[in-house]
Amino acid sequence: MLDLSLVLLILVIVAALAFDYINGFHDTANAIATCVSTRALSVKAAILMAAFLNFAGAMVSTKVATTIGKGIVDASSITQMVVLAGVMGAIIWNLITWYYGMPSSSSHAIIGGIMGAVIAHSGPALLHWQGLKKIVLALVLSPIVGTIIGFIFMVIVLWIFRNHSPGPLNKGFRKLQVASAAFMAFSHGSADAQKSMGVITMALLSYGLIPSFEVPTWVKIACAVAMALGTAAGGWRIIKTLGRDFVKLQPVHGFCVETAAASVIMGAATIGMPVSTTHVITSSILGVGISKRLTAVNWGVAYRILWAWVLTIPASALMAFITYQGLTPLFGK
């Protein structure tokens, strides 16, 4: 007799890896948009570098995976259908925003997706509101911190090199920007691949294949590979939005953006907080742009990014809720 729970578990793993792949090409821009726009690296070289370092970063830690897997809901109190619908809701929203070139947050999407699926399954009572409060607080505060650090870092660098002419300065920072882009790619992998690790481990625990929430090595490798492959596929629509349309950047600006953003992301990953790499890098670009002058920022693009930030959690939750309702006649609850 067909084990429906096992079928759903396999579908969850496939969907979570697909989410990681989509996250890779959706969020490629996080690491490389600025170094591509300043011509520090070619698109191909930047994407290959980001793919390799995304993989390396994904293998470093599982603290964020634990937060995702335990901070939203108890795995023992939900079904495979809940996890599957949550991931599918996040995937649908990510694809919609990718199509329109909007740098929305995969972190917001997966959290909103799981929330929407849990609510569809049994209402909001099962959600860990205290854990969600910390997660959402980190997601909300990190862009603010990114803007401030990006602004301060840019001001400090400009003050240190105030007596240098722009030409030689940008030539030197073009080389440094390769290192800062590498740091950003590594931090992106360390933060974002862990969301799918958390989801798959949650599903394995729910099914009973593992006794406690510990991310298996094969899950780490599979998620790291999926994200690296997605990154290698690239995400030119969002690279263009971030790297060309939002703020016009020179190498010195790109270096400050990437270093500031990567510092925030790595700091959050160290304490297990799932911040949005998309919105941290975006806010760092905003901070650097403001340091030049307010008119250096394309406020129309900033407005669109803000709306994506506000809408992603509720929109992903709605997509997951609808997905759960649609799949229930086929698989049950």
CB 198 within 8 A of CB 67: yes
* 16 closest CA partner among 122, 115, 87, 105: 87
**Cα 8 to chain centroid, rounded:** 25
Of 170-184, 240-254, 264-278, the poorest mean pLDDT is in 240-254
Tokens 């109190």 label which residue?
77
Task: Tell me if 54 sits within 8 A of 231, measured CB to CB.
Answer: yes
- pLDDT tier at 244, thresholds 50, 70, 90: low
Q: b vs e for 34-49, b when ≥16 Cβ sit within 10 Å of the residue's Cβ? A: bbbbbebbeeeebbbb
* Separation between Cα atoms, residue 68 and residue 73, nearest integer Å: 9
The token duo for 57 is 């970063």
Arithmetic mean of pLDDT, 281-302: 74
pLDDT tens readout for residues 96-126: 887 776 767 777 888 899 999 999 998 888 8
End-to-end CA distance of the chain, in Å? 19
pLDDT for residue 24 is more than 60 = yes
Residue 293 has pLDDT above 90, yes or no: no
Say yes or no to pLDDT of 237 above 60: no
Residue 35: pLDDT band (50, 70, 90) is: confident
Task: For residue 33, give the amino acid letter.
Answer: A
> Which residue, 116, 102, 103, 89, is CA-closest to 19?
89
Q: Are 81 and 326 in contact (CB under 8 A)?
A: no
Residue length, the chain? 333
Q: Are 29 and 242 spatial neighbours (Cβ–Cβ below 8 Å)?
A: yes
In angstroms, rounded to a whole number, what is the distance separating the alpha carbons of residues 184 and 260?
9
Q: 252: burial class by Cβ within 10 Å (0-12, 13-18, 19+)? A: buried
Contact 88, 147 (CB under 8 A): no
How confident is the model at residue 129, as a pLDDT?
Answer: 85
What is the pTM for the complete model shown?
Answer: 0.78
Beta bridge partners of 247: 297
What does the alpha-carbon distance between residue 302 and residue 286 come to, in Å, rounded to a whole number? 8
The band of 14, judged by pLDDT with boundaries at 50, 70 and 90, is: very high
Min mean pLDDT across 9-13, 22-26, 143-147, 193-197 is at 22-26
pLDDT at 247: 58
Residues in CB range of 66: below 8 A, 6 or more apart: 198, 213, 215, 272
Predicted pLDDT at 27: 66
**Is residue 64 pLDDT above 70, yes or no?**
yes
**Helix or strand or coil: residue 122?**
helix
Residue 319 is predicted with a pLDDT of: 95
